[in-house]
Amino acid sequence: KQEVTQIPAALSVPEGENLVLNCSFTDSAIYNLQWFRQDPGKGLTSLLLIQSSQREQTSGRLNASLDKSSGRSTLYIAASQPGDSATYLCARGYGNKLVFGAGTILRVKS
Amino acid sequence: AAGVIQSPRHLIKEKRETATLKCYPIPRHDTVYWYQQGPGQDPQFLISFYEKMQSDKGSIPDRFSAQQFSDYHSELNMSSLELGDSALYFCASREDSSNEQFFGPGTRLTVL
């Protein structure tokens, strides 16, 4: 069974702090990994896609890395802002589908 | 930029009724995916289509069926609705040259 685990399940930080969200997966097969943001009751916004041949991707204050050997990906958010408050989901590409982790609920306090 | 369009955005049905959800992918995207997200859960893959042919199947109940049409839009048909079918249903699309999936805003289905 393909499993994706995200740690921590929830995180509350003061504004301005740098933070790291973790994602691990059990299958060592070489597929891509995608990070999403979801606001309550809303759709999924794609943040970053790391192809299987890549090690990291950056977009603005976000940086995602992929370590296939250890089965881990991290999402680094720099200088967090209250607007970053949302649920962050990582998803592992397995063939023609995405398998999601349970997400990390992030709250950035002003 | 154009995004994935889903309709309706909200749908309320009674048990044992039928529902049809529609998805219009981003232009030039030829692959469509359907996912179901129950309350407090992560999205679960249901089914996907590439060039109007079913390409993969996940945990989709036999009461559900889907297809992709010649204009690449897709419809998810749900029959004999049960209370447990209440969820957010997402459609995502992808172009052949990329692995990145783009999600629509979802259809919130409530079964009473």
Give the model's pLDDT for residue A106: 97
**Which residues in B have their CB inside 8 Å of a CB on A?**
31, 33, 35, 41-45, 48, 50, 55-56, 58, 88, 90, 92, 98-106, 108
Average pLDDT, chain B: 95
Give the model's pLDDT for residue A41: 84
Give the model's pLDDT for residue A52: 85
CB-nearest to A95 from B56, B101, B106 is: B56
Tell me the pLDDT tens digit for each residue of B40-69. 899 999 999 999 999 999 989 999 999 999
Contact list in A for residue B50 (CB cut-off 8 A) is 96
What's the average model confidence in pLDDT over A82-105? 93
Contact list in A for residue B66 (CB cut-off 8 A) is none
Contact list in B for residue A64 (CB cut-off 8 A) is none
DSSP state letter for B40: T
- Nearest Cα of chain A lies from the Cα of B88 at a distance, in angstroms, of 8
Asked whether the beta carbons of B70 and B52 are under 8 A apart, the reply is yes
Residue in A39, A36, A20 with CA at minimum distance from that of residue A86: A39
Contact list in A for residue B44 (CB cut-off 8 A) is 100
Angstrom distance (rounded) from CA B41 to CA B51: 30
Strands of chain B (E only): list them: 5-7, 10-13, 19-24, 31-37, 44-50, 53-57, 64-68, 74-78, 87-94, 102-103, 107-111
Angstrom distance (rounded) from CA A67 to CA A72: 5
Percent of the residues in chain B that have a pLDDT greater than 90, as a whole number: 93
Kindly give the residue spans of alpha helices, DSSP state H, lying in chain B. Answer: none
Average pLDDT, chain A: 92
Is the previous residue joined to B8 through a cis bond, with omega within 30 degrees of 0? yes
Tell me the pLDDT tens digit for each residue of A29-47. 767 899 999 998 888 999 9
Contact list in A for residue B42 (CB cut-off 8 A) is 89, 100-103
Q: How confident is the model at residue A28 (pLDDT cuts 50, 70, 90)?
A: low
Which one of A6, A39, A42, A96 would you mutate to disrupt binding with B, by most B Cβ within 10 Å of its Cβ?
A96
Token pair of A83, please? 């607007």
- Nearest Cα of chain B lies from the Cα of A52 at a distance, in angstroms, of 10
Residue in A64, A88, A98, A90 with CA at minimum distance from that of residue A11: A88
